[in-house]
Amino acid sequence: MRLDISHPIHAPIGPRWWIIIAAALAVIAPSASLTAQAARSKVASAIAMPTGATARPGDVVRIAVWREPDLSGDFVVDETGTVVLPRLGPIDVSVDTRASLREKLIKDYEAFLNHGSVTVTLLRRVQVLGAVKNPGLFTADGTMTLGDVLAQAGGITPEGDAGKVRLVRSGSRVTTDMTTQTLVADSPVLSGDQLYVPEKRWISRYPGIAAAGITAAASLVIALARHH
C-alpha cells in the first residue's frame, strides 16, 4: 500500500503519538543522564601558578651542565620539596624560582666547575588519558601549551573532543577556563594531575546518520498519524 503524505494533517496528534515521537528520538539523541551526571560530579577550584613559581612535590627539576653529563639529568622533587643532586646531595628547591635555583647551583658547583654554564628547567608531570593515541605520564615545561602536552601522547584521536579537555585532580574535576592553546605556566595544571580527553557525543561523531535517523523517524510518525 502506498502512503500519501502530500496533504497536510488536519487532525491534531494525540498524546500517544507524542510518546512515539519521543521514543524514536531517544534512539539517536544523547542520554540526558550524562548531563545530569556531569552536573553532579565533584569539582574543585584552581588558581594558576604564577610565572615565578617554585618547584612543588612531584615536579621534575631538569639540570643541564655544559660538558658534565654526570651532573646533568632529571631529578624528581620529593614530598618535602627536596631533590638529591650529584655531588651536592639533598637540596631544598621549594623556596626557589627557576632563576634563583640556577644561581644557587652555579655557586654550589663552583668547587667542581670552572664555568657557570648551568641551565635549570622546572617540569610538571601530568597523566594524559582518554581519547588520545598513546595515554601515559609525560613531563611539561611552562613554555609548552596544553596542546603540546597532548601531542606527546600522540595527539587526540578522531573520536576525541578537543574542545572539552578536562583537568582532574585527586579524582575530582577541576573547574577551569583553558584551551589547548593555554600555556602550562598560565594554567592550573600541577604535577599529579590528569588531562582527560572525552569522546565526542555520538550525534557529533556521526552527524549524517543522526540526521537521516531523525528524518526517517519524523516521517514515520507523521505517516502513522495521518493514516490512523
What percent of the chain stands above pLDDT 70?
A: 65
Per-residue pLDDT tens digits for 214-227: 666 666 667 666 66
Confidence of residue 12 (pLDDT cuts 50, 70, 90): low
Strand partners, 167: 174, 195
Per-residue pLDDT tens digits for 158-210: 999 999 999 999 999 998 889 999 999 999 999 999 999 999 976 555 555 55
pLDDT value, residue 5: 37
C-alpha cell belonging to residue 32 = 540526558
Per-residue pLDDT tens digits for 43-90: 333 334 444 678 999 999 999 999 999 999 999 999 999 999 999 999
pLDDT at residue 108 above 80? yes
pLDDT at residue 3 above 70? no
pLDDT value, residue 48: 42
For the chain, the three-class secondary structure string (H helix, E strand, C coil) is CCCCCCCCCCCCCCHHHHHHHHHHHHHHCCCHHHHHHHHHCCEECCCCCCCCCCCCCCCEEEEEECCCCCCCEEEECCCCCEEEECCCEEEECCCCCHHHHHHHHHHHHHHCCCCCCEEEEEEEEEEEEECECCCEEEEEECCCEHHHHHHHCCCECCCECHHHCEEEECCEEECCCCCCCCEHHHCCCCCCCEEEECECCHHHHCHHHHHHHHHHHHHHHHHHHHCC
pLDDT value, residue 201: 76
pLDDT at residue 13 above 90? no
pLDDT value, residue 145: 96
pLDDT value, residue 49: 45
Contacts of 205 (CB under 8 A, 6+ apart): 159, 199
Whole-structure pTM value: 0.66
The full set of domain ranges for the chain reads 203-228
CA R_g for the chain = 28
pLDDT value, residue 34: 39
**Nearest-angstrom CA–CA distance, 169 and 44:** 8
